[in-house]
Amino acid sequence: MPHPATGARLKCEIVTIGLTERLRRAGCVFAEEEAELLRAAAGDPAELESMVSRRVAGEPLELVVGWAEFCGERISVSPGVFVPRRRSELLARGAVLRTPVGATVVDLCCGTGALGLVVARAVDGITLHATDLDPAAVAVARANLLPVHGHVHEGDLFDALPRSLAGRVDVIVVNAPYVPTAEIGYLPAEARDHEHRIALDGGSDGLDLHRRIAAESTGWLSPGGCVLIETSRRQQDGTAAAFGAAGLRAEIVQDDDLAATIVVAYASGIDE
């Protein structure tokens, strides 16, 4: 007779195999990994069935389990709010590298607050502010940033920040929408159907917000401070040009493994 623990393990394996087949038939590329995550997240068989049904119906895995992994952090997510993508890890790493101890950091268009959280976990003593126009994003960012004492503000870009920060921000990290309006319909359904349009639509050429951020950032940066912003390889020159036109020195950074591109723009230092 098999040991009870062995029987339980076999039962779990059979359940996982069944889930895997259902997920695979629904088009989930990483069906085995998703089955394990769903099984681990479910409190009981009824909840597991509900979660699997939601996933098979096309709901993003992150919303089904309630979190997304980003730079080793478990980020809480919420319906409609932009889910952090792996490619944005280049942006997070770049911000960490350029943030000095004790700096003032702003996570602009923060969504879940994932970028700000990664920087706050990695760099000691920073003061973190985050902004978003979407009330749903503000709510989930406040929950995510509570452990690092982040200040989350609701409003339009820099208008949401306390005026006392003007000229004192050392690092601005931002993943603003950069999908051209006409291309929203071509996005994967998980983004197109489950994230608020305000988190995706970047205007006619995708760079409307990039130009606004470039023009407005100079009044908020400290001498020698910098802005790091995600863009695409196709749009990188336009993003860099916008910051150059605002008087910042812009450089383009790419990561082929992540298929990621960012622009880093520096304000002049005191001695320059």
Q: Are residues 28 and 93 in the same domain?
A: no
Residue 219, pLDDT score: 97
Q: Are residues 44 and 170 in the same domain?
A: no
Q: 8 lies in a domain?
A: yes
Number of residues in the chain: 272
Asked whether residue 221 carries a pLDDT value surpassing 80, the answer given is yes
Asked whether residue 15 carries a pLDDT value surpassing 70, the answer given is no
Q: Are residues 94 and 220 in the same domain?
A: yes
Q: 75 lies in a domain?
A: no
Q: 73 lies in a domain?
A: no
CB 263, CB 239: distance < 8 Å = yes
Specify the range with the lowest mean pLDDT, choosing from 159-163, 191-195, 218-222: 191-195
Strands 169-174 and 151-154, bridge-based pairing: unpaired
Q: Are residues 116 and 241 in the same domain?
A: yes
Q: Residue range 70-94: average pLDDT?
A: 96
Q: What's the CA gap between 187 and 182, in Å, rounded?
A: 10
Q: Note down the domain range covering 19.
A: 4-58
Residue 270, pLDDT score: 58
Q: What is the pTM of this model?
A: 0.89
| Mean pLDDT computed over every residue of the chain | 92
Q: Are residues 23 and 100 in the same domain?
A: no
Q: What's the CA gap between 85 and 235, in Å, rounded?
A: 18
CA nearest to 109, candidates 218, 205, 227, 219: 227
pLDDT per position as a tens digit, 105-156: 999 999 999 999 999 999 999 999 999 999 999 999 999 999 999 999 999 9
Q: Are residues 124 and 14 in the same domain?
A: no
Here the CATH number for the domain that contains residue 144 is: 3.40.50.150
pLDDT per position as a tens digit, 198-216: 999 999 999 999 999 999 9
Q: 197 lies in a domain?
A: yes
Number of domains in the chain: 2
Q: 63 lies in a domain?
A: no
pLDDT per position as a tens digit, 21-62: 899 888 888 889 889 889 998 889 899 999 999 999 888 999
Q: Are residues 180 and 223 in the same domain?
A: yes
Q: Residue range 173-191: average pLDDT?
A: 95
